[in-house]
Structure 1
Amino acid sequence: MNVIEYADQEMLSMNVANVLAGALKKCLLVHDFASFAVPGGTTPGPIFDMLSGIALDWSRVHVLLTDERWVAEEDGRSNARLIRERLLVDHATNARFIPYFQNGMDAASGSAALAETLTSELPLSLLLLGMGGDMHTASLFPGAPGLKEALASDAPPLCAVQPQDQDIARVTLAAHVLDGAMDKHLVIFGDAKRAALERAATLPPEEAPIAAVLDELTVHWAA
């Protein structure tokens, strides 16, 4: 992995937005479309705000989530809702968005139903990730039921997981899908997460799921 340090979080957000836009433009020069997987949470919000204001052929960009809580978009906990409010605006309004939640299905059946749709998006052109202090990424949580299956090399593209300390099921892109992205970026803030990332490099993915995607990963860090 390659770690890039920034003076502050605002500078990081500006630079990462430009890096991602450049990667999308480069991909679209040689491919019919670009598949772009993005996380939820608060960290990427400022990046999305800046990225959505950059002009490129967004109509050929397919946006999908790295993971999602199994709730309708009207729910404030929905990552899809965040993406629609922060990324799919301004120039990026024309991007194609692939939501996961399916009415009338649970996380397991819903993720299975989406397998064919997601397979056509692979390998991912561009991936943006976050990481928790517990070294989880996407919804690959250490010790969570479903983690072993999502780490398997033959896992379906989208897997259901149920973190033990949470009452909402989640779906997540499988580890091999994340790791197989053509261009991978991770954004983290603070000394604690920097230390956690360095520790993850010494651990197996079962204990530190972020370890599954460290090869050729670009890490963007600010205090």
Structure 2
Amino acid sequence: MNLIEYPDRELMMLSLANTIAGELGQALRLEGKASLSVPGGTTPGPIFDTLSGVDLDWSNVAVFLNDERWVPEDSPRSNTRLLRDRLLVNRAANARLVPLHAEAARPEDVLDGLAAGIAPHLPISVLLLGMGADMHTASLFPGADRLEEALSDSAPILLPMRAQTAGEPRITLTAPVLKGAMSIHILITGPEKREALDRAQRLTPIEAPVRAVLANATVHWAE
């Protein structure tokens, strides 16, 4: 694990946005296409704001979430809604959004179709993850019903996930897909998550799911 500490959050967000833009640009030059997988929540919002204005060949960039809550897109809990509002605007409006949600009562009902949409864009060119104080990442929560399956090297691209602390049912990229990304960044803020990161390194992925991706990740932290 590579850890970068920043003097403040504003500098971290700007620096990380520039790093991601550079890595996407390199992938576009080498492959003619790129994929970017990002978390939901409000923390990465400033990164999305900066990225949305970057001059890239966005029409050849596929964007998809690490995970999604199983709620309608018009719900304030929808990560897809956040992407549309903060990232897929300005120049980045030309990017292709690959959905992680569909109209269905349960994620299981549409899992195969959603996974088929993701498959052509693997391996992920640039992966941005968050981490909770409970050491979850994406929707890989400690104690989740299908966590062991999601951590397996033979896991499918996507799995539904339910956990007591997760609220709604979720759908998530699995550990092999996350670990297979060409570039992995983890964004955390505050002393509680820094302590959780330190603790995660001493635990197993079942206890601390973020541990599954730490070996090849760069962690970005500011107080």
**Fold equivalence (TM over 0.5):** yes
Is contact 1:13–1:47 with CA below 8 Å preserved after alignment?
A: yes
**For 1:62-104, what per-residue CA distance to the aligned partner results, in whole angstroms no more than 9, with x for missing partners?**
0000000011111111000000000001110000001121113
Query: Is 1:159 paired with 2:159?
Result: yes
TM-score by length of 1: 0.97
- Where structure 2 has 5 or more consecutive residues not aligned to the other structure, the ranges are none
Distance 1:57 1:211, change over 3 A: same
Q: Which residue of 2 aligns with 1:49?
A: 49
List per-residue Cα deviations over 1:112-136 (Å, max 9, x = no partner): 2222222211111110000000000
Q: How many residues are treated as equivalent by the alignment?
A: 223
Tell me the amino acid that sits aligned with residue 211 of structure 1: R
Residue number in structure 1 paired with 2:174: 174
1:24-82, Cα deviation, whole Å (9 max, x unpaired):
00000111210110000011001101111111111111000000001111111100000
Does structure 2 retain, via aligned residues, the 8 Å contact 1:100–1:110?
no
Using the TM superposition, give the Cα deviation of residue 109 of structure 1 relative to its aligned residue in structure 2, in angstroms. 2.3
Q: Deviating runs (4+, > 2 A) in structure 1?
A: none
Q: Supply the distance in 2 between the matched residues of 1:206 and 1:167 (Cα, whole angstroms).
A: 20
Structure 1: gaps of 5 or more residues: none
Checking the alignment, whether the CA contact within 8 Å between 2:145 and 2:161 is kept in structure 1 is yes
Q: Which moved more, 1:159-168 or 1:185-194?
A: 159-168
Q: Is the counterpart of residue 142 in structure 1 residue 142 in structure 2?
A: yes
Partner of 2:123: 123
Which amino acid in the other structure matches residue 44 of structure 1? P
- 8 Å contact from structure 1 (residues 145, 164) kept in 2: no
Partner of 1:9: 9
Identity, in percent, stands at: 53
* Partner Cα separation in structure 2 for residue 130 and residue 68 of structure 1: 13
Contact 1:203 1:211 in 2 (8 A): yes
